């Protein structure tokens, strides 16, 4: 994947339309640019998110695109939606890189966490809405997140293992007791071995549990002598995207 093309972009905001599980779209779609949007979940919550469409995306075309679903860390809850673009794929989109994915990056409320039942339901509803509205290749939906988003990634993958072609939890943790749900899911885990906020052992336990359950598609990269912020290096790893692109669900 080439993360090289750069251009200026304008952040635009959509407004929620009436009704549950609805979101505003159409006029703000700007292929090649990342824009702001809002989704209304079935419980009436407003879920702000960033969305990027590939430069060659066209609603009039039959071409479908892989979707990259990104869950940010706790720090990006505490401020405007633009903070979500501080790290990872939305950062690349914000700086003008030419990405081959539809990138969707929601923002978690300060009062909650991605792994909660409430947020998991909203994340699923948003993903459902996006895949219906846009030309998404249903066999190439990728999920990733860092820190709190790493926990959310483990949880969402565990709850819906058949939905994702590849999953990349960065310095997060999950429930080893549910590892059997993930034996058939391609997973690449990254974690710094000097991480204090989210202990390295959180990822070790998940990887070990998946392997013991019979999983053979899990990879684990230990970031030696690295603390909590291992995501800068992880998301700058070209092989991560090459690996994602090679994964196709159910094949």
**CB 141 within 8 Å of CB 165:** yes
Q: Of 73, 209, 89, which is closest to residue 148 (Cα–Cα)?
A: 73
CATH of domain 51-246: 3.40.50.1820
**Alpha-carbon separation of residue 181 from 82, 158, 163, 190, 198 (angstroms):** 34, 6, 12, 20, 23
DSSP SS3 for 109 = coil
pLDDT of residue 2: 40
Residues 95, 34: Cα–Cα separation, whole Å:
9
Q: Between 28 and 214, whose confidence is greater?
A: 214
pLDDT of residue 14: 35
Exposed/middle/buried for residue 64 (C-beta within 10 Å: 0-12, 13-18, 19+): middle
Residue 184 CB partners (closer than 8 Å, separation 6+): 161, 215, 217
Work out the end-to-end distance of the chain between its first and last CA atoms, rounded to an integer number of angstroms. 22
Residue 20: pLDDT over 90: no
How confident is the prediction for the chain on average, in pLDDT? 90
Pairing status of strand 187-192 against strand 218-223 = parallel
Residue 19: pLDDT over 70: no
pLDDT of residue 28: 62
Please state at what angle helix 148-159 crosses helix 117-133, rounded to 10 degrees.
70
Digit-coded pLDDT (tens) for 116-159: 999 999 999 999 999 999 999 999 999 999 999 999 999 999 99
Band the pLDDT of 216: cuts 50, 70, 90: very high
**CB 69 within 8 Å of CB 169:** no
The structure's pTM equals 0.89
């Amino acid at each position: 994947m080439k993360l090289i093309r750069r251009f200026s972009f304008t952040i635009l905001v959509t407004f929620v339309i009436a009704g549950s599980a609805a979101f505003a779209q159409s006029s703000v779609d700007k292929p090649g640019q990342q824009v702001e949007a809002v989704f209304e979940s079935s419980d009436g919550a407003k879920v702000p998110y960033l969305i990027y469409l590939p430069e060659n995306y066209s609603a009039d075309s039959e071409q479908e695109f892989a979707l990259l679903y990104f869950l940010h860390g706790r720090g990006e809850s505490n401020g405007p939606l633009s903070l979500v673009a501080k790290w990872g794929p939305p950062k690349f989109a914000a700086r003008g890189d030419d990405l081959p994915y539809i990138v969707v990056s929601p923002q978690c409320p300060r009062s909650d966490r991605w792994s909660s039942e409430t947020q998991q339901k909203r994340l699923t509803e948003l993903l459902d809405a996006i895949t219906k509205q846009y030309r998404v290749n249903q066999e190439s939906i990728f999920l990733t997140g860092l820190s709190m988003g790493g926990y959310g990634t483990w949880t969402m993958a565990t709850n819906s293992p058949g939905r994702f072609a590849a999953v990349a939890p960065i310095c997060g943790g999950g429930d080893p007791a549910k590892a059997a749900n993930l034996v058939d899911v391609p997973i690449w885990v990254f974690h710094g071995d000097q991480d204090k906020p989210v202990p390295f052992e959180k990822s070790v336990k998940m990887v070990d549990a998946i392997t013991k359950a019979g999983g053979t598609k899990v990879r684990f990269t230990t970031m030696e002598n690295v603390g909590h912020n291992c995501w800068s290096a992880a998301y700058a790893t070209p092989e991560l995207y090459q690996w994602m692109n090679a994964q196709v669900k159910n094949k």
